[in-house]
A and B are shown apart, each in its own frame.
Chain A
Amino acid sequence: GQSLEQPSEVTAVEGAIVQINCTYQTSGFYGLSWYQQHDGGAPTFLSYNALDGLEETGRFSSFLSRSDSYGYLLLQELQMKDSASYFCALGGATNKLIFGTGTLLAVQP
């Protein structure tokens, strides 16, 4: 089967940089996605890595290393509105997503 592990909670201060890690076990996948979900809201897509390396989208960057079965989401210049849950997800056939356990990010002033 497939499984993804993330830290359950991360705390950081406004303006700082935070990294949310994701380690996974799988026999094969197409890419690693990251989603943000505010409390009571729908998950929203942030970033996708099909290849190893860093993808940058504004304040958010995502990294993938297939050889290490590892990825991370990097959030820069943290803002209070970034307080949310963040999920990594493996993409597979039929474009299905298998989600990780989720990381609750708390941004403090």
Chain B
Amino acid sequence: ETGVTQTPRHLVMGMTNKKSLKCEQHLGHNAMYWYKQSAKKPLELMFVYSLEERVENNSVPSRFSPECPNSSHLFLHLHTLQPEDSALYLCASRGTGGSDGEQFFGPGTRLTVL
């Protein structure tokens, strides 16, 4: 596979469940990002990882826990979510080449919290 992939593509979970979102990039990039996209709202940056180190946490509630075990993989662990957390969760990556403003996005995971 090439590019940025995300699994699962769709997820329905209850408020007491624990689940994880997975992102994988095959582009040799060294930075990875999690964004949240809710209806009628801009994409919201959640976390930034650079060289597998978290460099930014954009005031995200602790019920969202990111993990970056290596430069190709990024996870978002979810627990005790709220219905307002229902959204499209997008992963992106960036390398040292290319345009400075360019990130490569995955197709997203559509999350519904019941």
B residues contacting A by CB (< 8 A) are 4, 31, 33, 35, 41-45, 48, 50, 55-56, 90, 92, 94, 99-108
Q: Mark A52-90, 1 if CB is under 8 A from B, else 0.
A: 000000000000000000000000000000000001010
B9 CB, min distance to chain A CBs, angstroms: 10
A-B contact count, CB below 8 Å?
A: 69
Q: Mark A73-109, 1 if CB is under 8 A from B, else 0.
A: 0000000000000010101001111111110000000
Please tell me if the beta carbons of B31 and A95 are within 8 angstroms of each other in the complex. yes
Give 8 A-B contacts (CB < 8 Å), ordered by A residue: A42-B108, A45-B104, A48-B101, A94-B31, A94-B48, A95-B50, A96-B48, A101-B42
Please tell me if the beta carbons of A48 and B45 are within 8 angstroms of each other in the complex. no
> Which of A42, A44, A49, A99 has the most C-beta atoms of chain B within 10 angstroms of its own C-beta?
A42
A31 CB, min distance to chain B CBs, angstroms: 5
Looking at chain B's contact residues, is the secondary structure mostly helix, strand, loop, or mixed?
A: strand
In the complex, what residue of chain A is closest to B6 when comparing beta carbons? A42
Q: How far is the CA of A98 from the CA of B106 in the complex (A)?
A: 17
Q: Contacts A42-B106, A42-B107, A94-B56 hold; do A99 and B43 have CB atoms under 8 A apart?
A: yes
A34 CB, min distance to chain B CBs, angstroms: 8
The number of chain A residues with a CB under 8 A from chain B is: 25
In the complex, what residue of chain A is closest to B98 when comparing beta carbons? A45
- Whether A20 is near chain B, meaning CB under 8 Å from some CB there, is no
Please tell me if the beta carbons of A102 and B42 are within 8 angstroms of each other in the complex. yes
Looking at chain A's contact residues, is the secondary structure mostly helix, strand, loop, or mixed?
A: strand
A24-62 with Cβ < 8 A to chain B: 30-33, 41-45, 48-50
Residues of B within 8 A of A94 (CB): 31, 48, 50, 55-56
In the complex, what residue of chain A is closest to B102 when comparing beta carbons? A45
> Which of B41, B102, B106, B107 has the most C-beta atoms of chain A within 10 angstroms of its own C-beta?
B102
Q: How far is the CA of A32 from the CA of B43 in the complex (A)?
A: 15
B59 CB, min distance to chain A CBs, angstroms: 11
Please tell me if the beta carbons of B101 and A31 are within 8 angstroms of each other in the complex. yes
B46 CB, min distance to chain A CBs, angstroms: 10
